[in-house]
Amino acid sequence: MEIWSYIASESPDVADQTIDGIYAGLARLALFPLAGRLRDELSPGLRSYFIRPRHTVFYRVKEDRLEIAHVLHHARDLSRFFPGH
State whether CATH 3.60.15.10 applies to domain 2-76.
no
Among 1-5, 54-58, 60-64, where is mean pLDDT lowest? 1-5
Cβ burial, residue 2 (10 Å; 0-12/13-18/19+) = exposed
Q: For Cα atoms 76, 77, 80, give the angle at the middle one, nearest 5 degrees.
A: 115
The pLDDT assigned to 85 comes to 66
Cα distance between residue 23 and residue 33, in whole Å: 14
Cα distance between residue 80 and residue 18, in whole Å: 22
Cα distance between residue 5 and residue 7, in whole Å: 6
Task: Provide, rounded to the nearest whole percent, the portion of the chain with pLDDT above 90.
Answer: 71
Do 15 and 7 contact (CB within 8 A), yes or no? yes
For 2-33, what is each residue's pLDDT tens digit? 888 988 999 999 999 999 999 999 999 999 99
